[in-house]
Amino acid sequence: MHKVIIALASNHEQLDNMAEARRRLSRLLVAARYTPALWTEPIGHSTSSMYLNQLAEALTDLTATELVCRLKDIELAMHRTELDRQQQVVRIDLDLMRYDSERYHEKDWQRPYIRQLLPYVTMREDR
């Protein structure tokens, strides 16, 4: 089994979409634990709604490539579209942040909300 951290975010019907994402992730992940959810201002654009962010820490037997594909499948199944992206609507965004010792989305690790949520996961970065 592989240890993973996944970032979840939504700025549209946030509570419902985050709950649906967690439900769908439960089919992929073992022993998933979630950090508290954190409301944040949008980064890089000002016309969108507040974001709800959360990290998931879990185990999986999928490869990193398989897991990323499954995360994108969940986004599509939850109706994430290019039109929404253009309108700055994020129904759900699921990003693999860490797979065992390998980090992904390197720039996101420095975002304040990620740094604020990291103490809740056991795979956190050494400070």
Q: What is the pTM of this model?
A: 0.90
Angle at 123 between CA 38 and CA 97, to 5 degrees: 65
CA R_g for the chain: 14
Q: What is the pLDDT of residue 88?
A: 83
For the record, the structure tokens of 101 come out as: 């010792």
Backbone torsions φ then ψ of 64, nearest 5 degrees: -60, -45
Using CA atoms, how far apart are residues 74 and 72, in angstroms rounded to an integer?
Answer: 5
Q: What is the mean pLDDT of each run of 10 residues along the chain (127 residues)?
A: 96 96 95 95 76 96 97 93 83 96 94 93 63
- 47 Cβ contact list (under 8 Å, min separation 6): 88
The torsion of the CA quartet 22, 27, 29, 33, rounded to 10 degrees, works out to 30
